[in-house]
Every structure is written in structure tokens, then in C-alpha cells.
Amino acid sequence: MKDVIRSAFGVLPEVPRPRRPITLKEKLFWTAIVVVVYLIMCEVPLYGIPYGTRGYEELFFFRIILASRKGTLAELGIGPIVTSGIILELLVGSKILELDLSRPEDRAFFSGAQKLLAIIFAAVEALAFILGGAYGILTVTTATLIFVQLMLASLAVILMDEMIQKGWGLGSGVNLFIAAGIAQQIFWQIFSPIGPFADGLPLGVIPALTIAILNATSTGNWSALSAVVVRRGLPDLIGFAAMIAFFILIIYMESMQVEVGVSLSRYRGLKAKIPLKFLYVSIIPLIFASILYTDIYMFSQILWSRFNRDNSNTWLNLIAKFEVEEGRLVPQPGCLVYYITPPRGLSSIMEDPLHVLLYSLITIGLCILFGILWVELTGMDPRSQAEQLVSAGMQIPGFRHSPKIIAYLLRKYIPILTILSSIIVAIISVIGDILGVIGSGIGILLLAGILVQYQAMIAQERALEAYPLLRRLVKS
């Protein structure tokens, strides 16, 4: 079976690795180019559908995680890439697909399979949007045209992600696209002048606050400022303040570490400390959980649109039950899709506490599950970490040079950090959504985590360029 799948890799487009070492400036240049191209894709509407058409916004709460934009070339965002990664990691973790990711050939197979599966998922998701009515009733010609555009755009996203990961840029395309999309949305919600809306104020917090202050000074009625403090369904001052507070909190937690003392046997017992991040799994479990929510949401919308538009099927109502409100599908209480939709605003606690409770428990449970899987599948578990430390010539002071001893010590830290950090990122995300944080709780968590990662990568690249000997030590 592997040979059959491997034979398909040869027809897939591929980005070559750089033939020479790429400097930091060059990496930053290509990273910026990829971001600009992706943001342009987010603004180019799909040909064949009316520009600005709202249609069904079934993925409204998940656009930020998908790094997607409705009705544009970036409609599918990073969904196919992350979904294929989740599927393959579950297959490898459950031993259905036997791969040893410490072997180069198996890692190459995993990467090729992920690309192939991402293309397949792009086709499936494109068909889901078209058949699910996301663009209204289409002719066969228009549907085919939209399908081709979505496939070509998804292939471009996959190749840009591969380009970044192969050393042309910094980090990964997935994180880059998420961060760019979140930053763009936050900027828009803070400074957008469009409007006025029902409260007579524009969308952005700063323009709304400015107009409210001007109105208050001219009329002498300062109570009008309360309209900016809490705005149902729109960016407000509470969400703005919560965004700043959450951003600072998350960056602080990202810098917290648990240190394990080791000695370097190859350097005459030089003492050192191995730092383990307090948020050991970072934001990865939350990304996986959110993508899973999105896939469930999307395919349940297909079921609803094809077989249960009148919400009369009792069994399908357990999965998805929608009502069309202002041109978009709104899930109704009592179905799975409703309870995996993030609550928004403090009023959600009073209006439906069961929704808030179940969403919180489901999110925490999935984050723990994906956190454990991520640690086991990526070589972050105690045994793998111990083997890497021993191969680097490290050992625990006072103990013999053995990976079992180091693994035993790391088991006191890594499993606890894995579960604890998974719970913390889930709770931060839920609380952020309840407070109506600008950019959403998930968005701020992702953006802060990604920015911290990029800061560390840039610092590392600068150190390696400044001290070539350090680069040789790292490679050895």
C-alpha cells in the first residue's frame, strides 16, 4: 500500500530545497513575499459569484483559525493542510499507519502523504462549499469554474507552506497565514470606519469611541459613551481592553519555563539546564480542535442543506439544526453543531449557560487529547527527549549516562505539563470568547503564541549567523 501511495508523490508539484544556506534577510524577504501573496488572495473575489455577496456564513467563528476569507481565493485557507495533518497523526498514533518518524524515509513519506491528502481534502471541501449552497444556486459551468479556482488557490497555499518549511522562510506557512489573518482582522475591528450600524456608530472601536466622545462633548450627555463600552455582536471597549490584557498574559505564560539540570559529558561535565516550556504543547491542540470543529460544522451543513432544510428529521437534528438569519446559517440549540460553536459575549452565560458549559468541556477534552497525541507523535515525549539529550552528550548530574534515567526524571514533568498546558490554552480561549475579545479568544491566543515563536526563531537565526561555530555545534 505504501508503494502505491509513494508512486503518486512523483506527480505532485514540489518546491526544491535551497542549494545554499539562506541568510536571515533572505528568509525574511521570502516570508514577507508569501504573506503579501496570501493577503492578496484574501482580497481577490472568486470569479463567477457576485462580489460582496454575503451568502451563508457557516464558518463565521472559525475563519480566524482557517486563515480564510469568504468568497475569495482564500476561501479554504489552511483547512486542507491542517485536516490532513490531523488525520495522518491519528493514523500514525493508532499504529494503523506504521511509520517511524525518526527515519528520514518515513518522514519523507509522511510529508508526501500529507500533501496528497491535503489536495484531496481541498477537493472535498471545495465540493462541500459548492454543493452546500455557500454561493447560492449555480449552473454547472459556474460551479466547475469555482471548483477549479478553489483547487488552484489551495495548491498555491500548500506550496507556499512547503516553501517556508523547506528553508526559504521562517517557521511554517500555516502559522504565518494564521498570524497574518488575525492581525488583519484585529486592525480592521479597531480602526474600521465603515458604518454606521444600529447604534449609530462605525464598526471600529477607535472611530466609534471618537464619535461618541464628540457627540458627548457637543450635547453634554456623557452617558452616550456607554454604547461603546458594550456593543452586542460588535467590537467594544471591553473586548479591546480584554484583548490587551490577554495578549500580555499569554506572552508572559509563553516565556514561563520549568528547568531540568543536566551536565554535558563531552565537555567535561559542564553544567547546563534544559528548559521545558510551561505551555509545553503551545497552541497546537487548540488549532487541531478548532479545525475539527470546522470540519464537523462544514459537513453537517451539507447534511442539513440536502436532507433536513425544514429541521424535521429527528436524528439529523441531533447533528445539525439551522435557521437562516440575515443571510447566514445560525445553529439552533439541541444539536452538536450548536454546542461546538464558541459563545460570544458575557450575555451568553445568562442566555444559555448549558451552551457555555458544554462548549468549555468539549474544548478542554479535545485539547487534552490532541496535546497528548502531539507530544507522542512529534518526539516530545519523555523517552524521545531523553534519547535526544543522551545523543547530545547530556546526562543528569549524579546519575550514569543512560536515557532511561533521564526519561524517568522527565516523566515527572512532561505528562503534567502536557495536560496542564492543554487545559490552560482551552480555558483562555473560552474566556476570551465569552468576554468578546477583539480577534476572538482563539485568535489572540494563536497570534501571541505565533509571535513568540517567531521572535525566538529570529533570535536563533541571528545567533547562528553571528557565531558560525555555534551553527556547527547545533548540527553536530
In three state form, how does the secondary structure of 111-153 look? HHHHHHHHHHHHHHHHHHHHHCCCCCCCCHHHHHHHHHHHHHH
Q: How many residues does the chain have?
A: 476
pLDDT at 180: 87
Q: Residue 82: which of 309, 303, 354, 374 has the closest Cα?
A: 374
Q: Answer for the pair 432, 246: CB distance below 8 angstroms, yes or no.
A: yes
Distance CA(310)–CA(307), nearest Å, equals 9
b or e along 369-380 (b: 16 or more beta carbons within 10 Å of the residue's beta carbon)? bbbbbbbbbeeb
Q: What is the CA radius of gyration of the chain?
A: 24
Q: Answer for the pair 281, 297: CB distance below 8 angstroms, yes or no.
A: no
Q: How far is CA 421 from CA 231, 266, 285, in A?
A: 32, 33, 10
pLDDT along the chain (476 residues), means of 10: 72 85 88 92 85 47 73 87 81 73 76 88 87 78 92 93 89 86 86 77 86 81 75 81 88 79 54 74 82 80 80 85 74 87 80 90 92 80 74 58 73 87 90 83 82 85 73 54
Q: Within 10 A of 434 (CB to CB), how many other CB atoms are there? A: 21
Query: How far apart are the two ends of the chain, measured CA to CA in Å?
Result: 36
Angle at 331 between CA 446 and CA 232, to 5 degrees: 65
Q: Residue 224: which of 243, 209, 246 has the closest Cα?
A: 209
Q: How many CA atoms lie within 13 A of 391 on its CB side?
A: 9
pLDDT at 58: 46
Architecture of the domain made up of 1-8+20-181: Orthogonal Bundle (1.10)
b or e along 254-291 (b: 16 or more beta carbons within 10 Å of the residue's beta carbon)? beeebebebbeeeeeeeeeebebbbbbbbbbbbbbbbb
Q: Residue 340: which of 323, 316, 356 has the closest Cα?
A: 356
Residues of the chain with CATH 1.10.3370.10: 1-8+20-181, 234-476
| Phi-psi region at 276: left, alpha or beta (left = phi > 0; alpha = psi -120 to 50) | beta
pLDDT at 48: 83
pLDDT at 86: 76
Q: How far is CA 220 from CA 74, 216, 428, in A?
A: 47, 5, 39
CATH of domain 234-476: 1.10.3370.10
Q: How far is CA 436 from CA 152, 292, 345, 443, in A?
A: 35, 22, 5, 11
